[in-house]
């Protein structure tokens, strides 16, 4: 008989760090993906406009960005383990508050308060994993963490399909909030077996671009701009894809299934692109994923309904595949000792895009139509292509190229 505790305690420290970060990421991304499948139900229940719907999604993202920079500094004193566990517990309690909110105003308030706890997950999890693995395995390790997060995203519409059909959006939030509290309270008991320490510097040949100069800082800034656009596209698409599907005649159950396929494609894309970026470089990944995302976003308006299922998978790959490569590349521009903090800055710029885009595209949908909003999203996705070329002078060749 397999003993899971034995598997955990005998695993190498780097793997334990990866498993811990991945487990917390599953829940964190489940929390923040939960709004997407539930928004049409919330819109009908509270009689909201597209702009008000976007306010919920944007405020959730904005709230999660508020503490992303401070937690990088707090981690030195409080400890990354406790910040990750505590932050996710905070969001879980917020979900219960959202479920019980009787009005749009109170739902906004609990969305803001609950979202604040989400600021701990991404910078700290990415930071501890990037420190646990060297440059050769880092992109794959970070890609694994992000893949785990996408499993949580996939679970969101799956829960909605099972729970919301019978108990509504409030029941879905309540069940997930209570389940998460139980999980993270139990997670506290493994603290002694997760030693999240900074590794000793190792002299080795590295493919990192960090050299302590202004060039590294400039490269990091350009990377942050690319991340901003990438997050803006993804947040807007996840907010309004359910509504374009509804506009084209799909019922709630069908929409939930399409979202599962969309997020499954995203999970596959993140893991695959994290692996490919080590061999083919960041810019190639950006061009392949975002060019396809631009095409498939517009295709949601016109494609025959029979093709919508495979289209959702391909769109998910295009929307989410870029991020693993971007997250792994952050570590190339900053030293190990500053990674949690700089990941905080990077994720904050990303969340600004996640905040602004749904509001902007929601306004377009109210003034013009949901179809016009989707077409404009495709155009925005295409703008990331020329911007990414500015990184060419700041990135060293990938290991595969160096060996060629």
DSSP string, 368-382: T-HHHHHHHHHHHHH
3-state DSSP assignment of residue 103? coil
120-129, 150-159, 204-213, 251-260: segment of lowest average pLDDT:
204-213
- Read off the pLDDT of each residue in 228-249 and give the average, rounded to a whole number: 92
Query: What's the whole-number mean pLDDT along residues 203-231?
Result: 68
DSSP 8-state symbol, 197: -
Distance between CA 248 and CA 242 in Å, rounded? 10
How far apart CA 350 and CA 212 sit, in angstroms, is 24
> CA geometry: angle at 254 spanning 249 and 260, to 5°?
130
**Which pLDDT does position 7 carry in this prediction?**
44
Which range of 81-85, 96-100, 264-268, 330-334 scores highest in mean pLDDT? It is: 96-100
Handedness of CA 174, 109, 53, 152 (dihedral sign): negative
Distance CA 88, CA 93 (A): 9
Place of tokens 């928004």: 39
8 A C-beta contact, residue 317 and residue 295: no
Spatial neighbors of 308 by CB under 8 A, at least 6 apart, are 245, 258, 300
Q: Does 62 reside within a domain?
A: yes
**What's the chain's average pLDDT?**
81
Determine the distance from the C-alpha atom of residue 179 to the mean position of all C-alpha atoms in its chain, rounded to a whole number: 21
Read off the pLDDT band of 247 (50, 70, 90): very high
Structure-block tokens of residue 369: 């139509």
Whether 201 is covered by a domain: the verdict is no
Please give the share of the chain, as a percent, with pLDDT higher than 90: 35
Q: Which is more confidently placed, 339 or 225?
A: 225
What pLDDT sits at residue 42?
A: 92
| pLDDT > 50? residue 392 | yes
Q: What angle do CA 26, 30, 34 make, to 5 degrees?
A: 175
> What pLDDT is recorded for position 205?
42
Q: Flag whether 366 is in a domain.
A: yes
CB 242 within 8 A of CB 139: no
Q: Would 137 be classed as within a structural domain?
A: yes
Instruction: Name which residue leads in pLDDT, 327 or 319.
Output: 319
Domain assignment of residue 202, yes or no? no
CA 161, chain centre distance (Å):
21
**Confidence band (pLDDT; 50, 70, 90) for 90?**
very high
pLDDT value at position 397?
46
Residue 358 has pLDDT above 60, yes or no: yes
CA distance from start to end of the chain: 47
In this prediction, residue 134 carries a pLDDT of 64
Largest Cα–Cα distance in the chain?
62
Q: How far apart are CA 145 and CA 163, in angstroms?
A: 27
Q: What is the pLDDT of residue 327?
A: 72
Token pair for 375: 């077409």
The number of domains in the chain is 1
Least confident of 29-33, 99-103, 277-281: 277-281
**Cβ-count burial 264-279 (b if 16+ within 10 Å, e if not):** bbbbbbbbbbbbbbbe
The answer for residues whose C-beta is within 8 angstroms of residue 155's C-beta and 6 or more apart is: 26, 30, 33
In a domain, 269, yes or no: yes
Instruction: Classify residue 280 by burial, with Cβ atoms within 10 Å: 0-12, 13-18, 19+.
Output: middle
In 3D space, the residue among 60, 121, 57 whose CA is nearest the CA of residue 85 turns out to be 121
Q: Name every residue whose Cβ is closer than 8 Å to that of residue 314 and which is 6 or more positions away in sequence.
A: 265, 292, 296
Reduced to 3 states, what is the DSSP secondary structure of residue 109?
helix
1 part of a folded domain: no
Alpha-carbon distances, residue 124 vs 81, 109, 255, 373 (angstroms): 9, 26, 33, 34
Tell me whether residue 146 is in a domain: yes
Residue 12 pLDDT grade (very low, low, confident, very high; cuts 50, 70, 90): low
Confidence band of 313 (pLDDT split at 50, 70, 90) = very high
Q: What is the CATH number of the domain that holds 217?
A: 1.20.1250.20
The confidence band for 209, taking pLDDT boundaries of 50, 70 and 90, is very low
Task: Give the pLDDT confidence score for residue 8 in this predicted structure.
Answer: 45
The least confident of 74-78, 112-116, 176-180 is 74-78
Question: Which sign does the torsion angle of CA 209, 210, 213, 219 carry?
Answer: positive
Note whether 342 and 334 are within 8 A (CB): yes
Percent pLDDT > 70 in the chain is 81
Q: Which is nearest to 269 in space by CA: 230, 307, 232?
A: 230
Q: Where does the pLDDT of residue 20 fall: very low under 50, low under 70, confident under 90, or very high at 90 and above?
A: confident
Mean pLDDT within 397-401: 39
pLDDT at 2 over 80: no
Average pLDDT over every residue of 376-396: 85
Range of the domain at 266: 9-194+207-398
Band (pLDDT 50/70/90 cuts) for residue 403 is very low
Considering only CA atoms, which of 218, 200, 198, 199 is closest in space to residue 209?
A: 218
Higher pLDDT, 198 or 193: 193
Model confidence band, residue 275 (pLDDT cutoffs 50, 70, 90): low
Q: What is the pLDDT of residue 398?
A: 42
Mean pLDDT for the stretch of residues 38-47: 91
What pLDDT does 401 receive? 32
| pLDDT tens track for 102-133 | 999 999 999 999 988 888 887 777 777 777 77
Q: Which residues contact 3 (CB under 8 A, 6 or more apart)?
A: none
Q: How confident is the model at residue 1 (pLDDT cuts 50, 70, 90)?
A: very low
pLDDT of residue 101: 93
Interatomic CA distance for residues 119 and 112, integer angstroms: 12
For the residues of 123-135, what is the DSSP string, one character each?
HHHHHHHHHHS-H
Does the pLDDT of residue 82 top 80, yes or no?
Answer: yes
């Amino acid at each position: 008989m397999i003993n899971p505790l034995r598997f955990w305690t005998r695993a190498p420290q780097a793997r334990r760090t990866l498993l811990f970060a991945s487990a917390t990421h599953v829940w964190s991304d489940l929390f923040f993906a939960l709004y997407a499948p539930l928004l049409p139900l919330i819109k009908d229940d509270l009689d909201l406009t597209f702009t008000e719907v976007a306010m919920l999604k944007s405020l959730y993202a904005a709230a999660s960005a508020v503490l992303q920079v401070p937690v990088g500094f707090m981690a030195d004193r409080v400890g990354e383990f406790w910040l990750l566990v505590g932050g996710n517990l905070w969001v879980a309690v917020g979900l219960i508050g959202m479920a019980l909110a009787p009005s749009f105003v109170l739902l906004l308030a609990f969305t803001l308060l609950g979202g604040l706890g989400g600021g701990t997950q991404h910078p700290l999890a990415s930071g501890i994993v990037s420190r646990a693995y060297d440059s050769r395995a880092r992109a794959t390790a970070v890609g694994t963490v992000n893949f785990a997060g996408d499993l949580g995203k996939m679970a969101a519409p799956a829960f909605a399909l099972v729970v919301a059909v019978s108990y509504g959006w409030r029941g879905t939030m309540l069940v997930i909030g209570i389940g998460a509290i139980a999980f993270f309270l139990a997670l506290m008991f493994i603290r002694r077996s997760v030693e999240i320490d900074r590794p000793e510097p190792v002299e080795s040949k590295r493919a990192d671009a960090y050299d302590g100069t202004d060039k590294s800082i400039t490269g990091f800034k350009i990377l942050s701009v690319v991340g901003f656009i990438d997050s803006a596209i993804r947040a807007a698409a996840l907010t309004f894809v359910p509504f374009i599907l509804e506009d084209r005649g799909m019922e709630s159950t069908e929409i939930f299934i399409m979202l599962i396929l969309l997020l499954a494609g995203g999970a596959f894309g993140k893991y695959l692109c994290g692996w490919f970026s080590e061999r083919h470089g960041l810019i190639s990944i950006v061009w392949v994923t975002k060019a396809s995302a631009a095409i498939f976003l517009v295709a949601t308006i016109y494609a025959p309904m029979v093709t919508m299922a495979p289209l959702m998978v391909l769109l998910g790959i295009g929307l989410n595949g870029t991020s693993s490569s971007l997250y792994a590349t952050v570590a190339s521009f900053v030293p190990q000792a500053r990674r949690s903090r700089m990941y905080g800055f990077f994720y904050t710029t990303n969340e600004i895009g996640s905040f602004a885009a749904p509001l902007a595209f929601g306004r377009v949908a109210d003034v013009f139509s949901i179809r016009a909003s989707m077409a404009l999203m495709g155009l925005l996705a295409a703008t990331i292509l020329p911007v990414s070329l500015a990184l060419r002078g700041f990135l060293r060749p990938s290991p595969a190229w160096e060996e060629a």
